[in-house]
Amino acid sequence: MTHAPHHHHHHHVADPSVASLNRSFRAGIALNVAFVVVEFAVGIWYGSMGLLSDAGHNLSDVASLLLALLAFRLAQAPATPRYTYGYKKSTVLISLLNSMILLVAVGVIVAESVGRLLHPAPIEGGAIAWTAGIGVAVNGFTAWLFMKEKDRDLNVRGAYLHMAADALVSIGVVVSGLVISWTGWTLIDPIVGLAVACVIVASVWSLTRDSLRLSLDGVPAGIDLAEIEGAMCRVEGVEAVHHIHVWAISTTENALTAHVVVPTTERLGEVKAALKTTLAGAGIRHATLEFETPAEHCADLRD
């Protein structure tokens, strides 16, 4: 059996989006910390479950932004003899942790809201509406900071989803504040709290699913194994492909290993280069390929 010893690594030059995302994370964290302090203070002063639950969720978002920034920094760390891919996988684990934080926040909000439904209390609607109105601006602006890069990285997508959901939630709190100030119907406050929980679950479901899949080395979203195999088989000089494994090194980088059957090893360099180009076009930049001829017996048929 002929092995291809060359494991092709791509070392990227400094990406301007890296500096841009760093600034976005720092700005988003600063804005949300300031808003959480204000929202908690007003929520405690007026005894609003809608504001306190929204502030609690915003606090979890601050933690999520900090974790996402940490993952972003760890992903830039160089490889070591012990961690040959660096700390890239931490981005997947942190994305999973972020989704868990949000689900815990949902549980707290539901419990508090149900308590308020059973034991309603008087609330100042006007203050709630004004405070949540500021939240719409803060969360909307923070979501906008991540909009451009949200499809490139799972952690950035998580940050975007959190902020976009929070903007919608704050709009709901504004509505409940206005309803209370106009009608005095205070039950709308815990109802909005429960609506908040539903919005969070809806926004975090895909993040949890994708993060869990990547942490288990499942095939990343957007990668179709059958399409990858077909594209590889269409490369001139390739007879067949088997034992394909695709997994995520990080939330932005995918890797592949595969056995490639070629009629002869004479043009191995050309075939390998063509395969690497094909895979890079499919979003796979780390590929390790093992070449075989039809006469050879593959020792790994049970993989």
Q: Which among 254, 246, 240, 211 is positioned nearest to 225, based on CA atoms? A: 246
Strands of 84-160 (E only): list them.
none
The burial of 40, by beta-carbon neighbours within 10 Å (0-12 exposed, 13-18 middle, 19 or more buried), is given as middle
Q: What is the pLDDT of residues 100-152, one digit of tens each?
A: 877 887 887 788 788 888 887 676 677 777 877 888 898 889 888 888 777 77
284-292/254-261 β-pairing:
parallel
Q: What is the pLDDT of residues 142-180, one digit of tens each?
A: 888 888 777 777 788 878 877 887 787 778 778 888 888
Domain termination residue (choose one: 186, 215, 244): 215
Total domains in the fold of the chain: 2
CA distance 60 to 176: 22
pLDDT of residue 17: 65
Mean pLDDT across the chain: 81
Domain termination residue (choose one: 215, 232, 261): 215
Q: What is the pLDDT of residues 58-87, one digit of tens each?
A: 777 788 788 888 887 888 888 889 988 888
Q: Looking at the structure, do residues 173 and 34 belong to the same domain, yes or no?
A: yes
Domain termination residue (choose one: 154, 182, 215): 215
Q: Looking at the structure, do residues 205 and 158 belong to the same domain, yes or no?
A: yes
Parent domain of 283: 220-292
pLDDT of residue 81: 92
Q: Looking at the structure, do residues 81 and 229 belong to the same domain, yes or no?
A: no
Higher pLDDT, 247 or 195: 247
Q: Which among 19, 13, 246, 42 is positioned nearest to 135, based on CA atoms? A: 42
pLDDT of residue 2: 43
Q: Looking at the structure, do residues 107 and 241 belong to the same domain, yes or no?
A: no
Q: Looking at the structure, do residues 96 and 135 belong to the same domain, yes or no?
A: yes
Which of 5-14, 177-186, 221-230 has the highest mean predicted lDDT (pLDDT)? 221-230
- Whether 259 maps to a domain, the answer reads yes
